[in-house]
Amino acid sequence: MVLKTFGWSFAVTALGLVAAVLYGGWTGFGIVAILSILEISLSFDNAVVNAGILKKMNAFWQKIFLTIGILIAVFGMRLVFPVVIVAISAKIGPIEAVDLAMTDKDMYKQLVTDAHPSIAAFGGMFLLMIFLDFIFEDRDIKWLAWLERPLAKLGKVDMLSVCIALIVLLITSMTFAVNAHQHGGTHVNKAETVLISGIAGLITYLIVGGLSGHFENKLEEEEEREHEAEEEAKRTGRKNTGMALAGKAAFFMFLYLEVLDASFSFDGVIGAFAVTNDIVLMALGLGIGAMYVRSLTVYLVRQGTLDDYVYLEHGAHYAIGALAVILLVTIQYEIHEVITGSVGVILIAWSFISSVRRNKRIAAEEAAGGANLKKEVSGV
């Protein structure tokens, strides 16, 4: 199972490290290794959340997620995205941006750093909406019941998540964005940029999340009627058209996963500049890390880990909320990547330990119940 799921990740790691040595020597090897670990640590919560969505897809779409999805993740977000940011910020063509990335790495880093407020606002709002929609939903299984129970009651208010997100964005644009951090330690007013980018992130979430949720509900309804549809098709000899809807639903969930992955990638791409300005080494390191995150997502689905450790999804969403806040704070203040990565790891580890304790408690209660039943039968 491990080799089957992580085989491509191992292969990409070997090829990536060899390419790093050939391109940048052993120094390049070390940089790529560090970036790979950085990406995995920052994106572990991404894997858990992705697994919760991916488990609803069939094997075909899981394979698409590992093939086409990884191409989008590596070449789109880890290579093309930084170039696009530079092109937009410097108002130059993409070819000139690539040339700048290869020939003037310091200027390239400066342009990406100066574009960070808009990146952080877009990604922060998208991730914040994911977190808010999760905590305001009434769930059968609650991790921090003292917090989640009253929040679930508040969640009955229509559009509460959107209202809170807009309030947070407004406060951010009036505080952190007014004194936004730029390259060289200078600060400028980026209130308008942050406000526009944040609204764009919110709109993106509402469109993509809304479409994926709509078609997911349609898919669930179709699955409930699947048996009846199959029986009807056998009687009438007509072809069952349920798979078309399933394909459409899976496509929009796949699209949602890709946008979600893009939002998670912002901190990794920006944080990579603390390690290197070389776009080639950056793409190699982050690409290797992204491959492991995807393999880990599929592994969690196939092993049924989320079903066995029921609080993992909660911990991942709390990590998303923390990351959203961190992204918004970094508009003005620099926060080390170690802190960003540690917050997510700690929350997920905490939720994992809580899940293990829950499983032991349930097992003990079942064992005690079985023993009592046995005594009663023996007494009879």
What does the pLDDT read at residue 259? 73
H/E segment holding residue 180: strand 180-181
- 0.75 surpassed by pTM: no
**Cα separation, 340 vs 342, whole angstroms:** 6
What does the pLDDT read at residue 374? 62
In the chain, the amino acid numbered 19 is A
What does the pLDDT read at residue 245? 44
**Residue spans of the chain under pLDDT 50:** 242-245, 380
What does the pLDDT read at residue 195? 94
Under 8 Å between Cβ of 100 and 178:
no
**Cα separation, 176 vs 179, whole angstroms:** 6
Question: Which DSSP symbol is given to 331?
Answer: T
- What's the angle, vertex CA 88, arms to CA 83 and CA 92, rounded to 5? 85
Number of domains in the chain: 1
Instruction: Find the domain containing 119 and state its range.
Output: 2-379
What does the pLDDT read at residue 234? 67
Q: Which two tokens stand for residue 14?
A: 């070997």
Backbone angles phi, psi at 180, to 5 degrees: -70, 140
What Å distances lie between residue 165 and 162, 182, 260, 331, CA to CA?
5, 25, 17, 16
- What's the angle, vertex CA 246, arms to CA 46 and CA 5, rounded to 5? 40
What Å distances lie between residue 30 and 44, 118, 283, 292, 317, CA to CA?
21, 31, 14, 18, 32
